[in-house]
Structure 1
Amino acid sequence: MIEPALASRLQFALTTIVHIIFPVMSMGLAPFLIYFTWKDIRTGKPVYEQLRRFWTKIFAVSFVVGTVTGIVLEFEFGTNFAAFSTAAGELFGGPLAVEGMMAFMLEATFLGVFVFGRERVSDALYMVSAVAVGLGTWLSAVWILIANSWMQTPRGYELVVEDGQTLISLVDPIAAYANPRFPWMFVHMQNAAVLSVALFMAGVAAYHLFRHYHWEYPVEHPEFWETTLKIAVVVLLLTAPFQVVHGDAYARHVAETQPQKFAAMEAVWETDSYVPEYIFAVPTDLDDLLNPRAKEIFGLGVPGGASWLVSGGDPTAEITGLNEFDTQPPPVAIVFWSFRIMVALGFWFVLLAFWAGYRWWRGQLLEDDLLHKSLMASSLLGILAVEVGWIVTEVGRQPWVIQGVMKTRDGVSPGLTGFEATLTLVGFGVVYLGLLSLYTYVVARIVRAGPPAVDESTADSAPNGASQQPSTPSGGNDD
């Protein structure tokens, strides 16, 4: 049997890694759907109605599966980390409760109108429903990230002893919930979600266009996929460079507030200056593959790069090594390699965005088969970047569940046995992987089916919620 603390950490990691896919899809799709709805109402062009209806299907599936998998995570705070919940419940429970009562209910209430009410409500109310669904999706992220960012940089609390137990008491809500980490996490996460969906859109569109233009395979509505690809490229050009620039500044914030995590990201064990930034690194001894402690590696490094990163421009800046800290370091290899994968993907997204933008400018966006293949291969890499980014964030904080306040092993439920923790770990592994497989199957079916035929709609594009006969081939607004 796996000991309770490790099994609980693995279970929470597994459920989070699977769950995060669905919020990323829904949060990333939200601004696209608001735009598609606005253009549909404003212009009446059939392609925007198709875009709205097609991507709403994937949004709705993501919302449903995300809700199911997300509820389990909150229960795990009681089943696996009851000591943490007892100690920090006064401060940690508030944001989670508000997320459920405000953000989730807002999203869930208007989602029905948005999915089923196009022909039943006015244009104005339908537009309100689109904005409300998107706002609810992003507000959910606000409260979840407030709770998580407080665990990274706790503020606004004091430790009190009640009945012999140390508890965390909230004394300054503004300091706690507007902690230094929150704006960094929120901007980085939301931009990553939009970037990930743009990559997915571009990959799906490239798949259909590649079949149509290069294999001469008959594809219905090629104009739909052309529009999808162009919108995705525009968003990539905005989000990919911003993610790299913001990530650079974010890393310096981490170095200031969590120096041990930054040292793990760079695998710096001894305090040193002019520390190289290894872009690619392989240990000379395979036994050290999971131990980047030793810099006796074969790699491609930028001299002084890590020092430059931590200081914002000084390649001779000193970085505090992991050996200087009193606590046990986090799993350095996991943090070290995850950080490099995330950074490498970030630069690849920038290259891909400018490549696509250049081809579009030259009028060759639909003809570059290598670009199409690259977009197809990269369609899920945004999700991967989010996953490894969260690994850096969460694993890099270890051994703390609340930075500098409570260690993870002290937050585990005291009555939890190794058998119980191992059993639920295996059970959740089977269930969550099953849900992920089912979600993948459903989304793949939607993608293969392509956009809906607008002329089969009876009312979706009717102005002001009025009924409309399906006699016009375009299915759009006649006025």
Structure 2
Amino acid sequence: MDVEILARIQFAFTIAFHYIYPPLSIGLGLLMVVFESLYIKTKNKQYEVLTKFWTKIFALTFGIGVATGIVMEFEFGTNWATYSRYVGDIFGSALAAEGIFAFALESGFLGVLLFGWNRVKPWVHLLSTIGVFFGSMFSAVWIVVANSWQQTPTGYKIVGEGMQARAEVTNFWEMVFNPSSVDRIIHVWQGAFLAGAFLILSVHAYYILKNRHVEISKKAFRITLVVATVFALSQLISGHSSAEVVAEHQPAKLAALEGHFEKSAPADMYLLGWVNKDQQKVYGLKIPGGLSFLLHQDFNKPVTGLNAFDKKDRPSAVNAIFQFYHIMVAIGIFLIALTLFACYLWWKKKLFDKRWLLWVFALAVILPQIANQVGWYAAEMGRQPWVVYGLLRTSDALSKSVEANQVLFSLILFMVIYTLLLFLFLYLLTKKIKHGPDDEHLEDLRPHQHEIADVIIRNK
């Protein structure tokens, strides 16, 4: 492999591994705020127990997320020096904003969140929980802003010529609110909320199946199901809005997402399929003119296809982009169906009567994570061959002195270290879940209090 492919694989591997954890932190943060708010409002100790339990798991995901995210900043300098010089002002502004407005807020309140129980007033602790949650959300904002600028660059000017050219910020807020940033931020948030919600649903479904912490788990499951249903449905809105932005600003990417080759013709929407790039055909199940209708509300409206662009200016891995995109969509539809069906059973007062459904929820924890990953793959691969769309090619963004063997060696080391970190995370996560909420004995006794009382009276 040449150095470009290896560098791309290395960055994709490190960012994919890192991206397991921030969505979990954001999603868990939201539910921690909900649980603790309910505790302060109702004084029900079970909500306090839930908050404390999930705070421990939040701390674990936060720590691993920080450790795995630092590496990528070094990769910008070692493997992508030309890119770093070209977008330094843009990316630097966003990363600085993340440090000031997001990471400082999150880490500043984290100490109170973790160690402030019984040391500060309940409302102060809730404020710290909200601060950590907002910090995690703001962190996502600035990272997505930086990435979105690469997709739809605005608010800049080019200084210098040739390989010494670089982009300078001319309007900070125009750079922040570039055409794709708001839709993509909302979509990323929603994916993160689903990742955290389905982790909680999975764990408490498992407890109910194993007849442990049943009462508290049913409370947590119902609350989290509402959150999961809301954001599963709202993903449709933000996803459609993002597709409209892609159609306007990155038509080659949109064509790759749906395997649309003709220069200008009505475009079908595929539910599933396989792209044969050589034959320029897609074999699969489709809705004729479906993409045209989604974009223009007209089944016969033409959509720009891949053949409208020079081969050097359009994505090459069309089938991979197509598959990643459709996996994301399929998972999204499944999560909508799953949560709505569970809500229907809740309405019928049969939510916890279906053991098979609880097993589905217990295993579905992986689905939002897969959807988040493949969604990013589709977005980033669809931008190729540009690292900054229409301005800087990926092949030109590499460091000129780095060699393939150096990238390969560091990639192998990263794989070893990250694999160990993954096993450590799974071990600690499993250990905390097996231990469960700290009120285990109280929870097990509560349903049988009247029986215990009868025994005491009889003995007397």
| TM-score bin (small chain) | over 0.9
Count of residue pairs the alignment pairs up: 440
Q: In structure 1, what is the equivalent of residue 141 of structure 2?
A: 142
TM-fit CA distance, 1:377: 2.5
Q: Using the alignment, how far apart are the partners of 2:379 and 2:199 within structure 1? A: 24
Q: Given the alignment of the two structures, is residue 274 of structure 1 paired with residue 274 of structure 2, yes or no?
A: no
Separation in structure 2 between the aligned mates of residue 370 and residue 4 of structure 1, nearest angstrom: 49
- Listed one character per residue, the Cα deviations across residues 98-142 of structure 1 (whole Å, up to 9, x for unaligned) are 212331121111101111111111223212211111111111111
* Equivalent in the alignment of 2:409: 423
Whether 2:344 is the aligned partner of 1:358: answer yes
Counterpart AA for 1:63: F
CA contact (8 A) 2:180 2:242 kept: no
For each residue in 1:359-393, what CA deviation from the matched residue of structure 2 results, as whole angstroms up to 9, or x when unmatched? Answer: 10111111112211221221210111100111111
Q: What is the 5 A alignment of 1:27-426?
A: 27-161=26-160, 165-212=164-211, 219=212, 221-282=213-274, 288=276, 291=277, 294-295=280-281, 297=283, 299-311=284-296, 313-326=297-310, 327-330=312-315, 331-426=317-412
CA distance in 1, matches of 2:224, 2:65: 23
Helix, strand or coil at the partner of 2:165: strand
Q: Is this contact kept in 2: 1:269–1:293, CA < 8 A?
A: no
Could you tell me the TM-score, scaled by structure 2's length? 0.92
Amino acid at match of 1:26: S
CA deviations on 1:326-367 (whole Å, 9 max, x unpaired) are 334221111100011011111101100111000101111111
Report the CA distance between 1:449 and its aligned residue.
1.4
Shift, 1:245, TM fit: 2.5
Which protein is richer in helix relative to its size?
2
- Structure 2 CA distance for aligned equivalents of residues 3 and 162 of structure 1: 27
Deviation at 1:322, TM superposition (A): 1.0
Q: Distance in 1 between matches of 2:240 and 2:116?
A: 43
Question: Aligned Cα RMSD in Å?
Answer: 1.7
Whether 2:434 is the aligned partner of 1:448: answer: yes
1:396 is paired with a residue whose SS is helix
Q: Between 248-257 and 396-405, report the one with greater CA deviation.
A: 248-257
| Residue ranges of structure 1 left out of the alignment (5+ in a row) | 213-218, 457-479
AA at the equivalent of 2:232: A
Q: Distance in 2 between the 1:117 and 1:437 partners?
A: 30
Distance in 1 between residues matched to 2:146 and 2:279, nearest whole Å: 32
What's 1:459 paired with? none
1:168-202 CA distance string (max 9 Å, x none): 12111121111111101110000111112212221
Q: Does 1:23 align with 2:15?
A: no
Whole-angstrom CA distance in 2 between matches of 1:24 and 1:409: 30
Q: Which amino acid aligns with 2:428?
A: V
Q: Is the 8 A contact 2:98 2:143 kept in 1?
A: yes
How far the C-alpha of 1:454 sits from its partner, in A, is 7.7
| Mapped contact 2:82–2:397 kept (Cα < 8 A) | yes
Q: 2-side partners of 1:305 and 1:146: how far apart?
A: 30
The alpha carbon displacement at 1:293 in A equals: 5.6
Letter in 2 for 1:318: P
Match in the other structure for 1:463: none
Q: Which moved more, 1:73-82 or 1:10-19?
A: 73-82
1:227–1:294 distance in 2 versus 1, CA, 3 Å: same
Sort the Cα spacing of 1:83 and 1:282 in 2 relative to 1 into closer, same or farther, 3 A: closer
1:350 and 1:162 mapped to 2: Cα distance?
50
User: Normalized against structure 1, the TM-score is what?
Assistant: 0.88
1:396-432 superposed Cα distances (whole Å, 9 cap, x missing partner): 1011110111011111111110111111111111211
Once the two structures are TM-superposed, the CA of residue 246 in structure 1 deviates from its matched residue by 2.1
Letter in 2 for 1:91: I
Q: Assess if the C-alpha contact under 8 Å between 2:384 and 2:394 holds in 1.
A: yes
Structure 1 equivalent of residue 3 of structure 2: 4
Q: 2-side partners of 1:187 and 1:21: how far apart?
A: 18
SS in 1 for 2:293: helix
Q: Tell me the alpha carbon deviations over residues 428-453 of structure 1, each in whole angstroms, 9 at most, x when there is no partner.
A: 11211221221122112111211112
Is the 1:29–1:197 Cα contact (8 Å) retained in structure 2?
yes
Secondary structure in 1 aligned to 2:281? coil
Task: Describe the superposition over 1:242-266 as per-residue Cα deviations: whole angstroms up to 9, x where unpaired.
Answer: 1123212221211111101001001
Answer whether contact 1:41 1:123 (CA < 8 A) is retained: yes
Residues 292, 336 of structure 1: 8 Å contact kept: no
Mapped partners of 2:84, 2:32: distance in 1 = 37
Identity of aligned residues (%): 37
**Contact map agreement 1:292 1:333 (CA 8 A) in 2:** no
Structure 2 counterpart SS, 1:227: helix
Gaps of 5+ in 2: 443-460
Q: Quote the offset at 1:163 in angstroms.
A: 9.8
Equivalent position amino acid for 1:389 in 2: G
Q: CA deviation at 1:58?
A: 1.0
1:314 maps to a residue whose letter is D
Given that 2:272 and 2:285 are in contact with CA atoms closer than 8 Å, whether structure 1 keeps it comes out as: yes
Q: Aligned equivalents of 2:371 and 2:38: distance in 1?
A: 31
Worse overlay, 355-364 or 120-129: 120-129
